[in-house]
Amino acid sequence: MPRKTRTDASTGTPIRLEIVPRRGLRREDAARYVGVSTAKFDECVKDGRMPKPFRIDGCVIWDLRRLDAAFDALSEVVEAGDVWDNLVL
């Protein structure tokens, strides 16, 4: 896992940062990962464009790989021209 060391500007003390890859994401992180608001993400989960979560004890988690697969499927629709016809920029 990548590690970086920074120095606390106020004390000069080195701070070690670890970047830990995650497979499971909570709702806000899952929405951010696919690039939409939580409200839009909820809509996409409800209508089936994004996968449903599962529970680990009390935590509601989205699988990163399933999010990738759903996002890939959405991007295939865009590449086919279905969305761009009605898009207003």
- The CATH number of the domain where 37 resides is what? 1.10.1660
**Residue 3 or residue 18, greater confidence:** 18
Residue 8: inside a domain, yes or no? no
C-alpha span between 30 and 49 (Å, rounded):
13
- Identify the band that residue 22 occupies on the pLDDT scale cut at 50, 70 and 90: confident
Residue 14 pLDDT: 79
Number of domains in the chain: 1
pLDDT band per the 50, 70, 90 thresholds, residue 1 = very low
Mean predicted lDDT score pLDDT of the chain: 84
Position 18, amino acid: E
Domain assignment of residue 67, given as a range: 23-80
28, part of any domain: yes
Does the pLDDT of residue 86 top 70, yes or no? no
The pLDDT of 28-40, averaged and rounded, is: 97
